[in-house]
Structures are given as structure tokens and as C-alpha cells.
Amino acid sequence: MDLSYTPEEKAFQEEVREFLRTKLPKRLADKVKTGKRLTKADMEEWHAILHAKGWLAPNWPKEYGGAEWTAVQNHIFDVEGNIAGAPRVVPFGINMLGPVLLAFGSEEQKRHYLPRILDGTDWWCQGYSEPGAGSDLASLKTTAVREGDHYVVNGQKTWTTLGQHADWIFCLVRTSKEGKPQEGISFLLIDMNTPGVEVRPIILLDGEHEVNEVWLTDVKVPVENLVGEENKGWTYAKYLLQHERVGIANVGASTAAMGHLKDIAGKQTKHGRPLLDDPYFAAKMARIEIDLEAMKTTNLRVLSEAKKGGSPGIMSSMLKIKGSVIRQEINALTREALGPWALPYVSEALDEGSNVPAMGPDYANGVASEYFNHRKISIYGGSNEIQRGIIAKAALGL
């Protein structure tokens, strides 16, 4: 695989940089770079800017409003966007549900839901995890019983990210108790405004309202909101999770975080000299950066296969493991570089317009928050322990 950009790819890189220079609002970039919390309006603003450019859904077919980018174009935009401080695109509609509908949805579902994802009419959240059914997702207990032209859904979902903003939730539900647990699961699209849907906040250690519980009590869902076939939802869930795990590798975010670490290490001093000049600290940085460069190459290979119509397979699990480990290592080393400025922070200081002072300079904002928040990335999307089991079973026959 040739890792050098072609002239066309270099031209695209310059186009991306120019777009970010002219279209990314400085206010949003500053919030991202200084660790401030993004509001729903902030995320919707960036969503709309990308949609207007035609770059919101890089992997979707042009027929459905996508950009049909190559793997390298995806990689370029991911890296450049993160370096520039672009907000993350909320992934649930664009990167999770969209690919599932494109692969398994009916033509009516594609024509109805995909444009509404693109133009921001519908904000989606993910209803997978339950108490007692996280990494062991096949143990889910939320039921959907068919009654005429509706399913009646009862159960509970948890860790529902940004569910407080969502209009719709795509859910895994149990429609049969026959056979293996995986064989009785279906994939339903549920309007969050339906009677019986209740969202309860879960406030995290950093004071952030990022995740929620979603309770479903006698919720009536039209049969036409079933994606694909009844009891085949496990197949669709695995397809979605393979694409999600590649995203969790988050090469662009780790690249930007590595740049931030280098910047801090160039400012902070130890015995009167920058940390970058300390051989022990520089060696720790170099080891992480080598792993990151190797992951970039692997990520491009996996994206290239996916673009050809292949499935990421166990490579998505490998990327998920390594990507989460690298990001956590960068977070830990950044806290080490900051010294006392990486102490636990005052949560309110991260809100826009807050008068509460932060603990240190702007470049220290959010570092402690990211460190604690990113402990989760080795768990969500299937814990790293589960991923190692998948790799062992598929590659080694264990």
C-alpha cells in the first residue's frame, strides 16, 4: 500500500484545509480546543455547515445525499478536522443508523429517514445497552410483542448518549425467546415522542449530562418501523458495531490530541527546561506516536476494504482495542505533563459564558475532563475484553 498522497489527494487536502479555514466558526473551534462543552445548537450548526457543503455523510452513496469519499479522503478530513478543532459529527444517524438502513432497510425507509438525518430534522440516539446487557448484548430483555399492526415495547435502555436531545431511537428488542438469544432480536425505529417513552438523566463524574436511561412502557411502534426481517436484528447490530468500532479508533482525534500534548510539553518545564527535552518523557511520547502511526496505516487498510464492499471483520475489533488504548495513553501523559494544572477541575468552568475560573491556562482546560470521560472508550462499542475474545475466536479458532 502506497502511503504517499497522490496529487489528487493532496489537492483534496488543501480543499479541506481551505474549507475549515473559511467555514468552521472560530467560536466553535475555540470551544473544542479549550475543552468547553458544546451545546446542542453548536452541534447542529456544524451539522448544517457540512450538509450545505455535501460533506456530512462521506460514506453514503451520492444517490442518497452522500459524498462517496475514498478511504484516503475520509482519513484526510478526519485528521484535518480534528487538528482545526472541528466539532465531532454526532454519529448516531450519519455513521450508525444510515449504513444499516442503506444495507438492510426498505426503499421506503431509505427515502423517508435518510434525508431527515441529513437536514437535521431528526436527531437519533442508540438503544442497545441495558442493565445487565452491555458487552453481553445478546442478554437484552426489552421486549416487543406484535399486536396487529403495532409492536408493544417494554423495557429499559441505559447509557443512551445525548438521548435528551433525540427525536428518534433505534433499538434492539427481543421479539422471540426461541433458540439462541441472538436469534430472537429485532431492530426497531421508535419515535421518542411516543407515549410511554421516558428519558432520565445520568449525570457523570465531571458534571456532564451526556448519557441517560430510557424507559419504555407499553410503547406502540408501527410494524413498518421494523428494519429488515423480524428476529434478524443481531445481524444488523453486528454490522453497525463493526462500523462503530472503526470509528472508535478515532485516528483524527488522537492525532490532534498528540499535537496538543507536544504543545504542552514544549511549554511546561522540568528543572528549568521544556519537558520535550527530558529524555524519559520524550521516550514515552515517542512510543505512543509510533503506535499511532501504525494505527493510521491499519485504519486506512480497513477503510479501503470497507469501501470495496468488504466487512471490517475482526480488524474493526483490533482497531477498537488499539485506538482506545492509544487515546487513553495520550490523555494520561497529557495530565502528567500538566502537573498540578491537571487536578480535578470545577465542572462549571467548562460551560460557555461561565464566570467560574478554570484551574490553569486555556490549554489545560478539559484535560482532566477528557481523562476521566475517556475511561469509557475501552468499554463502549463492546469492551476491549470482548473484542479480544472475538479476535481469538475468529482468527485462532479458540
Percent of the chain past pLDDT 90, that is, above it, reads 62
Higher pLDDT, 216 or 303: 216
DSSP output for 213-247: EEEEEEEEEEGGGEESSTT-HHHHHHHHHHHHHHH
How would you classify the pairing of strands 269-270 and 211-222? Answer: unpaired
Please calculate the CA angle 140-141-146 and round it to the nearest 5 degrees: 115
Residue 72 host element (H or E): helix 71-84
The neighbour count for residue 130, using CB atoms within 10 Å, is 21
pLDDT at 391: 86
Q: Quote the CA–CA distance of 106 and 226 in Å, as a whole number.
A: 9
Catalytic residue among 244, 329, 348, 370: 244
Q: Quote the CA–CA distance of 211 and 128 in Å, as a whole number.
A: 13
Catalytic residue list contains 370: no
Nearest residue to 126 via CA among 86, 83, 165: 165
Contacts of 332 (CB under 8 A, 6+ apart): 371
pLDDT in tens, 338-388: 888 877 666 666 677 776 655 567 777 778 888 888 888 888 777 888 888
pLDDT at 311: 60
pLDDT in tens, 261-299: 999 999 877 667 889 889 999 999 999 999 999 988 888
pLDDT in tens, 88-127: 999 999 999 999 999 999 999 999 999 999 999 999 999 9
Q: Is the dihedral of CA 210, 93, 84, 49 positive or negative?
A: negative
Nearest residue to 197 via CA among 229, 160, 226, 227: 160
Structural domains of the chain in order of their starting residue, each with its CATH number: 7-101 (1.10.540.10), 124-231 (2.40.110.10), 250-396 (1.20.140.10)
CB 29 within 8 A of CB 9: no
